[in-house]
Amino acid sequence: MAEAEEPEQGTEEIRIGVYTCHCGLNIAQTVDCKSVAEYAAGLPNVVVSRENMYSCADPGQIQIKDDIEEFGLNRVVVAACSVKMHGPTFMTVCEEAGLNPYLFQMVNIREHCSWVHMQDKAGATAKAKDQIKMAVASVALARPLQDRVVPVTSRALVIGSGVAGLQAALDISRSGYPVSLVEKLPHLGGRGNQLNRIFDRLERISCVLTPLIMMALNNPLITVYTNTDVEDISGYVGNFKARLKINAHPVGDECDACGKCAEVCPVEVLDPFQMRFTSCKAISLPHDEALPHRYTIDREACNGCGACVTACPRELIDLEAPDSTEEIDVGAIVLAIGSKVYVPGEGNKWGYDGAGDVFTALEVERMLAGNGPTGGRAVRRSDGREARSVAFIQCVGSRDEEHPWCSRTCCMTTLKEAVTLKVRFPQMRVSVYHDDIRLYKKEHEDFYRKARDLGVSFMRSKPSGVTAEGDSMVVRAHDELLGEETTQAVDMVVLATGMERPDDAQKFGDMLKVPASADGFFMEAHPKLRPLETAIDGVMLAGSCQFPKDIGDSLLQASGAAAKCLGLLTKPRITLDAIISRIDQSKCNGCLVCVKKCPFSAVVTDEVEVDGKMKKRARVIEASCKGCGVCVARCKQGAIEAQGFTDEQILAQIDAALEEDPGGKILALVCHW
């Protein structure tokens, strides 16, 4: 953006235009906009003051442009709605009229005034006058600023290889940009590998997952890192640097999965893929359809005997293979690390202990799979016989005091498993205990009706506990329709467990400074305006690390996150706003409190010469700074200035708010954006 030279202090005549918006009736029904506009016309340096029905509409924007030219305005104040929503709109208007956009200031007299003072119209009008008076005092001291321009590294990093990570990587690569796809497990696909069938048409998960994995492995623009941890990420939008720890693959890439190594391995462990129903060797194929299709070694279980090394006919096993590290430069990042399935803890009221006849939905998912531990049969743990009656309990680990959110997928998972059981075993008695059935997509209601038609019983009841009595599991519940306590003896109980934040959420939250909501899931920048982005520019979200999602929604969001990445990667350089902090190193005393307190790691230290000695002084990485002002507030030396919110501007606002004025009886709050 071209910018005129800043005039010397005191040489410029300040000419301010003030525009008060009715916002339909959102503002005008509470605030006397005409009175406010007349009041603003009498403020210092104001040469034109108008009121508009909708300032953000074309007529309102054209009016501002025309006034800038006609009256020679060099400052603009718009009193309207949310700065976050329409601040960029009016900055663009000013820029198109030849005015530096940072000589504009917006006042929120809707959310901050009319909407919160609907019962006090006189007070709301007085407060709106105060807010405009403060903005006029501040904008008179504003200085033209220059947007930042930073180069962009044309490569993306996708963390996590579930359906969301795979889809995001593929979409980015299809536009011709390279992608680094990082997965901490030895194989791709995430938890999707453990599913049996997906919602709606009951397709096998492999029909969705395997093609995605194969396309990623065979794509020359996608570099796949399996068995790899992200140790650190530094930098800023367009210029991130990621350090990867590539854990050694003791089995070479040329492994043809002949299985001779597993035949001689003396160590057996419970198989995590089969939910610990069965055991496997310390060296094994993660599962039959694992990709990359090679054997892996459980390093914690391996006793180092070397039998597998001797047995391998192609000499591909090296138990001493070293770990390695690699640094990659990327311009954008997609976080797709998934979520964690809730597992009831010790002493839970559901009777779940991982050994009895109470199962989680994921355990039943493996049980019903053709390549599962029971070959698709619903089998009791206690005596090995097939179950003749099954009770599903909804909202375990969801919609309670500890987990107040709905996990969204649990109801459809239950319907899917209940329908599968009734189709395979028509005589089986299947019941579902629920508060209410929550189905989010139009096709799901048809699935619910199908389950009822097959004979699945839906019981609006709150289970109070499950106990083992004799050969049965007894479910006790309060029936909301009958208003009485009920008991039911069944062979198996299935808990529809919800989703929790992923295990690595804290790690990546600290590493990338991505905030989390109260439930622990990653938080988007704005739920409506920026639902795919985070507060950290260049970091996008995909899949259930943001909140619980099914496969369809995860794929949809992944494509959106990829599109956001491409919006960055397609440019050789990007422009960032100028609202940042600057440090005067001549005033800095090297206390470095600002370095420790910066939430975006945007303040670093320099070694500078002071009085013949090298000393540490703080410096702002401009491309990383978000202009939050934490460093300014913490600096006791007054060495840091927040551009666009200087001390002089803030003090001018305070003075304006505290002036003796008949219209200013209400003290307005200073709100920064």
Per-residue pLDDT of 267-310, as tens digits, reads 999 999 999 999 999 999 999 999 999 999 999 999 999 999 99
Nearest to 247 by CA among 183, 307, 191: 183
* pLDDT of amino acid 493: 98
Q: Given pLDDT bands bounded at 50, 70 and 90, which one contains residue 498?
A: very high
Give the residue range(s) of CATH 3.50.50.60 domains in the chain. Answer: 156-247+323-339+501-569, 340-500
Nearest to 332 by CA among 438, 179, 455, 182: 179
* pLDDT of amino acid 339: 96
Tell me: pLDDT of 667 over 70: no
Tell me: pLDDT of 516 over 90: yes
* pLDDT of amino acid 669: 38
Question: What's the whole-number mean pLDDT along residues 430-457?
Answer: 93
Question: What's the whole-number mean pLDDT along residues 144-153?
Answer: 92
pLDDT digits (tens, 9 = 90+) for 520-578: 999 999 888 899 999 888 999 999 999 999 999 999 999 999 999 999 999 999 988 89
Tell me: pLDDT of 1 over 70: no
Tell me: pLDDT of 3 over 80: no
Domain boundaries 581-643, CATH class: alpha beta
Report the 10 Å Cβ neighbour count for 668. Answer: 23
Give the residue range(s) of CATH 3.30.70.20 domains in the chain. Answer: 581-643
Round to whole Å and give the CA distance between 507 and 516: 12
Please say whether the beta carbons of 20 and 52 come within 8 A. Answer: yes
Span 16-145+649-658 CATH architecture: 3-Layer(aba) Sandwich (3.40)
* pLDDT of amino acid 660: 65
Helix (H, G, I), strand (E, B) or coil at 494: strand
Query: Right CATH number for 340-500 from 3.50.50.60, 3.90.180.10, 3.40.50.1110, 3.40.50.10320?
Result: 3.50.50.60
Question: What's the whole-number mean pLDDT along residues 416-443?
Answer: 94
Round to whole Å and give the CA distance between 597 and 593: 6
Mean pLDDT of the chain: 92
Amino acid at the residue 139: V
* pLDDT of amino acid 5: 45
* pLDDT of amino acid 662: 40
pLDDT digits (tens, 9 = 90+) for 11-44: 679 999 999 999 999 999 999 999 999 999 999 9
* pLDDT of amino acid 666: 39
Report the 10 Å Cβ neighbour count for 220. Answer: 7
* pLDDT of amino acid 10: 55
* pLDDT of amino acid 460: 94
Angle at 184 between CA 524 and CA 369, to 5 degrees: 95
* pLDDT of amino acid 359: 97
> pTM for the whole thing?
0.84
* pLDDT of amino acid 668: 40
Span 156-247+323-339+501-569 CATH architecture: 3-Layer(bba) Sandwich (3.50)
Q: What is the DSSP letter of 113?
A: I
Give the residue range(s) of CATH 3.40.50 domains in the chain. Answer: 16-145+649-658
Comparing 623 with 447, the larger pLDDT belongs to: 447
Tokens of 630: 């934490």
pLDDT digits (tens, 9 = 90+) for 76-94: 999 999 888 889 999 999 9
Question: What's the whole-number mean pLDDT along residues 209-224?
Answer: 97
Of all residues in the chain, what percent are helix, strand and coil, respectively (each to 5)?
30, 25, 45
* pLDDT of amino acid 136: 97
Question: What's the whole-number mean pLDDT along residues 354-374?
Answer: 94
